Structure 1
Amino acid sequence: MDNNKSTRLANKLFPVKEEYEIDILDIPAEKRKLNTETYDFTVSTIVEYISDKHIEIPMFQRGYVWNRAQASRLIESLIIQCPIPVVYLSQNSDETLSVIDGNQRLTSISLYLNDGFPLTGLATYPELDSFKFSELDPRFQRHIRNRTIRCIVILKDTHPQIKFDVFERLNTGSVKLNPQELRHGIYNGPLIRAIEKLSNISSFKKATSTTKDKRMKGEEMILRYFALHNNWENYEKPMTTYLNSYAESNRFYNEQAIETLSETFKSNFNKCMELYGEYTFKTFDASKKRMKANTALFDAQMISMTIVNPTIEQLEGIDKNMVIDRLTTLLDKEDFYNSLTKGTTDKNVVQKRINDYTTFLRAIL
């Protein structure tokens, strides 16, 4: 009896959810404290800080989504001195500030003061409809510039995992941001920008089934490769925390380091494509049908390729039919298949599938 069929069906009907929980208790008790300072910045100061990049407004997958009526009502609230909700900022190691909560508000204010749109749909002062900022009476302009917005800054000495947890707690949008989308904002910098660029390679999108990737799945896969490729033997769960720590520690990698990482990724990706072709990162059955991209298999194939490090010439000379036949046999082994589908981020499981796949790769070379 093929027990794998039962397991595969169960995986489809009762999928194991990705481990997105942050294990705060892994952090020493004395480091779980949230360190903050409170500032009342004038609108003028906020717009200046955004302009000179002292305040960074991360662009998540949805970017700026407020319509003109929503933005106009915010400006009207400033005019009538209606309280504006608190904005949360994160202090970076270089003293700049990243927006944790308040993206839409700060973007709207910056846009309006730079004549980005005319006011529309005002309820209290409809007389100001159609006015851009530069067209307002100077007294209105001064009044808006002098309004203050309370900003709570999470200081840089706060543990990065605590920052991440706060970001999740403040993530109250209609569509919750997933961990990679959160990282895109919290750890924005050269590393994240390089990962974003790599994730847009068309052949990578096709191999990972991320052609219509609206939730940054491809970016997270590349981050996993970066984090694991030199340190997989020291991996510790949970995966979310492991990736957060890597993204935080290497956020401001220098240009040379970024280039080296990117070239290493592209080289090993191209080798996988040469060896496995359309089956790259895909699970499938003996009929070679129902191919599905699998993140755990992506880890195994990419990291084993890094470890073994064959030349592209070696791979070109290998019988590809033999490779796929042997891969089919490997995927049919219950213990290996389970390492791709059950508890995939457990430390022992991560190490097992990389070791098993490395043995498999060496055997076919």
Structure 2
Amino acid sequence: MTHYLPAEEPVNGLNNDFTEESDAPLGPEEAPKFSEAVLHASDWTVETIVAQLRRRNIDINPRFQRRDAWDLGKKSRFIESIILGFPVPQIVLAEKKGERGKYLVLDGKQRLLSLLQYTGNAEGPRNAFGLSALDVRPDLARKKFSHLEADPDLEGDLNAFNNYTVRTVIIRNWPDTEFLHLVFLRLNTGSVKLSPQELRQALFPGEFSNFADDWAADSRQLQALLGRSSADPRMRDVELLVRSLSFHYFLNDYRGRMKEFLDYSTGKMNDEWSDMEHSIRSAVDQFASACETIINIFGRERAARKADSKSFNRAIFDVLIFYAFDEKIRAGMQGNPEEVVGVYNETVQQSDFVDAIESDTAGIPNTFSRLDIWGSKLQEAVGLSFNLPRLENKQIRFEGFWG
């Protein structure tokens, strides 16, 4: 049985960041369509932004609020900066297709959430928080927005807050989700790199997306693998689940572009939820058991890591979980843990495998290479002969492990 230790982040010094992953580059024929997008910059007051949030014109899904990445000190200093008139980063929004005046958030989610919470218009325990850990205005400590509204002596601070203008960039007529992913991944909020899964959850709402969010948030196995003791605020736990289910169900549809593939599979599982729900729930049970097996065999500090790294590697995890998904293969792994660890240690130092996890990781050749190399090694370790994915006409083909 795996033992999960409650701890502050990160667990045992574990690096819970993903390693960078490359995706197939855009073809030259795709670049012209990006010129169709219209970018408009304006200055919205905080009062206007809060009004847009209250009317749900800016999509801050309540589900995001439980994956809050900022502590109250950082939120408070952001509010203090606004009251003091200090510059704050711009907000980037994308107008929803077919919904004029409704927006997705590409950059600024934590800032918008802080405004929503401070003004008492959010949900959860941080709603209507009092200010704390202030650097310049300690006299505002414990002051809530309601205090600014009620106290005549704080009227100047209230006006400074409401009237502060935030540069807001709005993207309209964007051609496709690939364009938004490209913009999204080029943006940074402080030192925290954004996760494409946050955008995916907004672009593809539905029953599957909600299920994946709920399940991943509560998964002790994913928390252990990522070195966390709570849900990941950037939804990287959700991405691991979605990736694994996507390869499990739709490997034959993979075309070498990971973000495009995950968008496709998420949309498909949302659209076909009524037909796929039972199968998906069963698959997720297998996923949980597979994660447990990987943790027990490799240990949380070595699972899905390169030989010389403590960083979690998604490309390695993809192949580990792909085979561990199968109950018979998983039982073979559990029965031969030392052999599995031995071939794993050899594999992560093998030059062709290293090449496949360090460059063009999303491309079909390297994706197939990882699956083929680890699958072959795993057959030796567990003493089983099962089918491996094969490469045909530059596409990966797979019809199941047995038969």
**TM over 0.5, yes or no?**
yes
Partner of 1:222: 241
Partner of 1:36: 39
Partner of 1:347: 364
* Aligned residue pairs, count: 328
- Classify the secondary structure of the residue corresponding to 2:70: coil
| Identical pairs, percent | 16
Partner of 1:183: 197
Pair 253,336 (structure 1): closer, same or farther in 2 beyond 3 Å = farther
The Cα shift of 1:266 comes to: 2.3
Pair 195,132 (structure 1): closer, same or farther in 2 beyond 3 Å = same
- Classify the secondary structure of the residue corresponding to 2:186: helix
Q: Which protein shows a greater Rg?
A: 1
Partner of 2:94: 90
The Cα shift of 1:97 comes to: 1.8
The Cα shift of 1:42 comes to: 5.2
1:235 aligns with 2:254: yes
CA contact (8 A) 1:71 1:105 kept: no
Partner of 1:287: none
The Cα shift of 1:177 comes to: 0.6
The Cα shift of 1:88 comes to: 1.5
CA contact (8 A) 1:194 1:258 kept: no
Pair 186,117 (structure 1): closer, same or farther in 2 beyond 3 Å = farther
Pair 143,176 (structure 1): closer, same or farther in 2 beyond 3 Å = closer
Aligned-residue RMSD, C-alpha: 5.0
Query: After superposition, what is the alpha-carbon deviation per residue over 1:131-150, rounded to whole angstroms, capped at 9, x for unaligned?
Result: 82321559866886577655
Partner of 1:8: none
- Classify the secondary structure of the residue corresponding to 1:56: coil
Please give the alpha-carbon distance, in whole angstroms, between the structure 2 residues aligned to 1:29 and 1:150: 27
Q: Which residue of 181, 191, 209 maps to 1:164?
A: 181
Please give the alpha-carbon distance, in whole angstroms, between the structure 2 residues aligned to 1:199 and 1:338: 36
Please give the alpha-carbon distance, in whole angstroms, between the structure 1 residues aligned to 2:180 and 2:262: 10
Please give the alpha-carbon distance, in whole angstroms, between the structure 2 residues aligned to 1:61 and 1:106: 11
CA contact (8 A) 1:336 1:353 kept: no
CA contact (8 A) 2:148 2:155 kept: no
- Classify the secondary structure of the residue corresponding to 2:106: strand
The Cα shift of 1:50 comes to: 1.6
Please give the alpha-carbon distance, in whole angstroms, between the structure 2 residues aligned to 1:112 and 1:205: 29
Amino acid at match of 1:98: L
Pair 93,120 (structure 1): closer, same or farther in 2 beyond 3 Å = same
CA contact (8 A) 2:304 2:313 kept: yes
Please give the alpha-carbon distance, in whole angstroms, between the structure 1 residues aligned to 2:248 and 2:261: 12
TM-score (norm 1): 0.64
What are the ranges of 5 or more consecutive residues in structure 2 without an aligned counterpart?
1-18, 121-127, 387-401
The Cα shift of 1:71 comes to: 0.9
Query: After superposition, what is the alpha-carbon deviation per residue over 1:55-109, rounded to whole angstroms, capped at 9, x for unaligned?
Result: 13456663366353541341353xxxx9876431123347342322334543444
Q: How does 1:110-121 map to 2 (within 5 A)?
A: 110-114=116-120, 116-117=129-130
- Classify the secondary structure of the residue corresponding to 1:231: helix
TM-score (norm 2): 0.59
